[in-house]
Amino acid sequence: ACLHHGWKNLVFISNFGGDCLEHGWSIAVEMQLYLLTPPIFMLLAYLKSKWLKMPSVTGGIIAVCVFLCLLSYALRLHFVLTLPEARFRHHFVSQYLYFYTQYRYSAYAAGVIVGVVVHGSDAQVSETAKAGNCADFVMLAMTLGVIAIVIATGGGNDLITANLDLLWSGWPNSTPPDGLWIRLQMALQRPLLDVAAACFTWLCVSGRAPRLTGFLSAEAWKPVAALSYSCYLVQFIAVQLVG
């Protein structure tokens, strides 16, 4: 397979189809986004230098990322809601949402927004974190609630959400959700998780959730964090070797 499709891995487009090292699709998505981001930043900086009345580059980055997030959400909704029922039940349909960049980049864009918002010195971050303690708590509670709901209903994994009606059918005295509900879950679960993760990250890195930040930044997590993605990359190779 790598003799015929390995070139897709070399140019980082294997997430759009390819049979060589299929688990490398996420690297392809990330590299595509890393290559596209600097030109956008440079274009905004160039426009700012030409039109001084234009909002700041930071504001432009946030506006572009918000627009791209909304565009990705709209693309997901359009893809899911316009599929005929016969095609919607096919396993390969959910793979489009799971692997294709236009349906996945919203998480990256949300992360860029957080990075731009919290960019600054430690003094600036701590000063902005003094106000709104109650609002910060409410946001944290809502964020954790959204994350818990998404995890309980498929974890934002489009491959699982597509078959939620089959999972429900195994529970006694349960009524499987209707087709529209399943479609909306498939289209919106990952965007909701993206927004929740962005809010969660912002609360932590801006100093608004110090206890949670201390827990998540504990030394004990470092070995696990170092192993998690490495294990993902080698798991399929290990399975084939072990048999």
pLDDT, residue 173, reads 47
pLDDT, residue 163, reads 53
What confidence tens digit (pLDDT) does each residue in 111-148 have?
A: 999 988 887 545 545 555 554 577 778 888 888 888 88
What confidence tens digit (pLDDT) does each residue in 139-160 have?
A: 888 888 888 887 777 655 555 5
Cβ count near 89 (within 10 Å) = 16
- Long-range contacts (CB closer than 8 Å, 24 or more residues apart) made by 122-131: 125/205, 125/206, 125/207, 126/207, 128/206, 128/207, 129/206, 129/207, 129/208
Check: CB of residue 32 under 8 Å from CB of residue 14. no
Provide the angle, in degrees to the nearest 10, between the axes of the packed helices 91-99 and 57-81: 180
Q: What is the CA radius of gyration of the chain?
A: 21
Give the integer Cα–Cα distance in Å for 188 and 159: 14
Share of the chain above pLDDT 90, in %: 20
Cα dihedral 184, 160, 105, 31 in deg (nearest 10): -170
pTM above 0.85, yes or no: no
19 pLDDT above the threshold of 80? no
Give the integer Cα–Cα distance in Å for 144 and 150: 10
Check: CB of residue 126 under 8 Å from CB of residue 75. no
